[in-house]
Amino acid sequence: MSGIVEGRVVIVTGAARGIGRGHALEFARQGAKVVVNDLGAEVDGTGSSGAAAEVVAEIEAMGGQAVVNGEDVSDFDGAERLVRAAIDRFGGLDVLVNNAGILRDRMLVNMTADEWDAVIRVHLRGTFAPLRHAAAYWRSKAKAGERVDARIINTTSSSGIYGNPGQGNYGAAKAGIAGLTIIAARELERYGVTVNAVAPAALTRMTANLMPAGATGADPDDIAPLVVWLSSAEARGITGRVFNVRGGRISVAEGWHAGPEVDKGSRWDPAELGSVIPSLVEKAAPNALTNGRIPGRED
């Protein structure tokens, strides 16, 4: 098979279903060798299934190369074994797509510590651990004088970068992933590694209760083209960016930046700020809605 990522070795975590499955299949269509990583768990992280093997079978049926991997990406040593599995099976690693995740939605006043920890562990630690081991591998190659042209694609969410009530644990993890993406991009650029993230909107098992009935343009397979392109040689100059993507719509998420400012030139007295802070807030753009649009600028 040939395509935009022909011959590249790719790890996709959470690749058994939904968006991750779409990634794995599109990578294969475009000529990549794919490590299909998934525990096969339910949306809340419990249970298991053989869905990853079904994805591998689909890839092999179309003439592609793929292998199942069942490591827990939130386990530091397991993430190292995942990276090593790609190298041992296919001779190297070019792309890491961090997609694995679970949901345990709850309003803050009802959320348990276990519900918080489980989601933070899978999403945030489960992005850090594979990223860390892949980065170490590419750094060693670069320091040995080998040419590196590698990619990391993380998965954030509008719930994290814009906010969504009832998803404090998930949103905090996804906001952390967006921040980690920018930091990792700056750290790894010198080694020939780009790091970007996508904030996908799609109708999957994880979002079925969040999307309006009859939602259109929300096919999970629609996310893969952007992820695959970001993994290609053509995307070498793109790093440290977060992209919103839903259906055929792609936009660049513009992160926190300094807005209206006042500088007294010395330490403030708290009593002085009552006439200062409201004025600054009034001049500032309002926070984006969950869809990423600034109120009053939705068009």
Q: Which of 33, 74, 137, 157 is catalytic?
A: 157
Q: Which of 198, 199, 180 is nearest to 188 (CA)?
A: 180
Q: Does the structure show a pLDDT above 70 at 245?
A: yes
Question: What is the pLDDT confidence band of residue 215, given thresholds at 50, 70 and 90?
Answer: very low
Q: CA 264 → CA 135, 167, 261, 269, 270, distances in Å?
A: 44, 38, 10, 10, 13
Q: What angle do CA 258, 264, 266 make, to 5 degrees?
A: 115
For residue 47, the model assigns a pLDDT of 42
**The two three-digit tokens of residue 29, written as one number:** 């269509």
Element (H, E) at 1: none
Q: Does the structure show a pLDDT above 60 at 210?
A: no
Quote the distance between the C-alpha of residue 103 and its chain's center.
15
DSSP conformation class of 161: I
Question: What is the pLDDT confidence band of residue 272, given thresholds at 50, 70 and 90?
Answer: very high
Q: Where do the domains of the chain lie?
A: 9-253, 265-299
Question: What is the pLDDT confidence band of residue 120, given thresholds at 50, 70 and 90?
Answer: very high
Establish how many alpha carbons lie within 13 A of residue 179's alpha carbon, considering only the half-sphere containing its beta carbon.
10
The question of whether 283 is a catalytic residue gets the answer no
User: Cα(first)–Cα(last) distance of the chain, in Å?
Assistant: 41
Q: Does the structure show a pLDDT above 70 at 202?
A: no
Q: What percent of the chain has pLDDT over 70?
A: 91
Q: Which of 33, 74, 162, 170 is catalytic?
A: 170
Fold type of domain 9-253: Rossmann fold (3.40.50)
Question: What is the pLDDT confidence band of residue 297, given thresholds at 50, 70 and 90?
Answer: confident
Element (H, E) at 241: none
Read off the pLDDT of each residue in 157-184 and give the average, rounded to a whole number.
96
Read off the pLDDT of each residue in 92-109 and give the average, rounded to a whole number.
95
For residue 286, the model assigns a pLDDT of 92
Read off the pLDDT of each residue in 110-133 and give the average, rounded to a whole number.
97
The question of whether 137 is a catalytic residue gets the answer no
**The two three-digit tokens of residue 184, written as one number:** 């990792």
The question of whether 162 is a catalytic residue gets the answer no
Q: Which of 137, 159, 174, 231 is catalytic?
A: 174
Angle between helices 51-61 and 18-29 (to 10 degrees): 20
Q: Does the structure show a pLDDT above 60 at 204?
A: no
Higher pLDDT, 135 or 103: 135
Mean pLDDT of all residues belonging to the chain:
91
